Amino acid sequence: MILNFPVFLSVGRAQLDPTHLDPPLTQSIATPVSFWLVQVRSASCKALGALVTATAKAEGVPAWTKGMASVSYNLPPATRALLEKVVPILLEHFGEDDDKDTVAAASEALTDIINLLGPAAATPLAAQLCEVAIALLSKGHACMQEEEEDTPGAEAEPDDDVDDHDASLWEAVSDLLTTLPKVMGEYYLMHFAKLVPQLEPYLSAQHPAGDRSLAVGILAESLHQLELSGAGFLPMVSA
């Protein structure tokens, strides 16, 4: 049931009654997030994100605009109650899980929630999300530790599975880091300023082309969304 739950929600959203979702259904999905099997943890993160977005669409989400103050935006009651329960779980796995696919799934779920709910979801989370992104970029995250400790001093052999996990993770993180400025506008600037020093090393020729493309994409899209407030960072990207 967990593995197919996002599909179930997408099909049945028109008939979804938000009052039936909390707490029994939420608890049944949240419990497997701590399960030892990584596929279950990953699927549970996706299901929790789908649950929030489906509930919000069923209740009716007020329109929001980029950079609007989150205090002026009131979420529907069932959506807010569910958000308060689901987001801490997703944040925990985004920040602390030792499996890359689960971290990516939590990141994707948070991105979907922020895209739909706008500043009301993004503003309170931005600082913590960027802290986790910095840990990932600096290879200090728990999901990066195994590859760092494998064989110190030895040249690692290519591993297609690791490359696939890395690609999924960085794609998810890139989507998150380009979604935040789209939603927050100039209010994202202080968070962007902390990310820049971690992204700069990825622009060097010492990094693979894929890493450089990732960094350039995040920087360029962030500056595009920051508009004039980010003008001070333009020379770095255009160099």
Burial 74-84 (b: 16+ CB within 10 A, else e): ebbebbbbbbe
What pLDDT does 205 receive?
86
Number of CB atoms found within 10 A of residue 149's CB = 8
Q: CA-CA distance, 155 to 143, in Å (whole number)?
A: 20
What pLDDT does 13 receive?
47
Q: How confident is the model at residue 111 (pLDDT cuts 50, 70, 90)?
A: very high
**Where are the domains positioned within the chain?**
5-146+162-238
Looking at domain 5-146+162-238, its CATH architecture is Alpha Horseshoe (1.25)
Q: CA-CA distance, 131 to 136, in Å (whole number)?
A: 9
Give the pLDDT confidence of 212-234 residue by residue, as tens digits.
899 999 999 999 999 999 999 88
Beta carbons of 58 and 13 less than 8 angstroms apart: yes
Q: CA-CA distance, 167 to 190, in Å (whole number)?
A: 27
Give the pLDDT confidence of 175-209 residue by residue, as tens digits.
999 999 999 999 999 999 999 999 999 988 888 88
Give, in degrees to the nearest 5, the angle at Cα 123 between 115 and 46: 40
Half-sphere exposure of 149 (CA within 13 A, CB side): 7
Task: Map tokens 């499996």 to a residue.
Answer: 99
Q: CA-CA distance, 11 to 175, in Å (whole number)?
A: 25
Beta carbons of 147 and 81 less than 8 angstroms apart: no
What pLDDT does 1 receive?
43
| pTM for this entry | 0.83
Q: CA-CA distance, 78 to 56, in Å (whole number)?
A: 8
Residue 51 to residues 116, 130, 144, Cα–Cα distance (Å)? 12, 24, 29
Give the pLDDT confidence of 33-91 residue by residue, as tens digits.
566 688 889 999 999 999 999 999 999 988 899 998 776 578 899 999 999 999 999 99
Closest among 118, 132, 151, 154 to 198, alpha carbons compared = 132
Give the pLDDT confidence of 118-174 residue by residue, as tens digits.
999 999 999 999 999 999 999 999 999 865 554 444 444 545 555 666 889 999 999
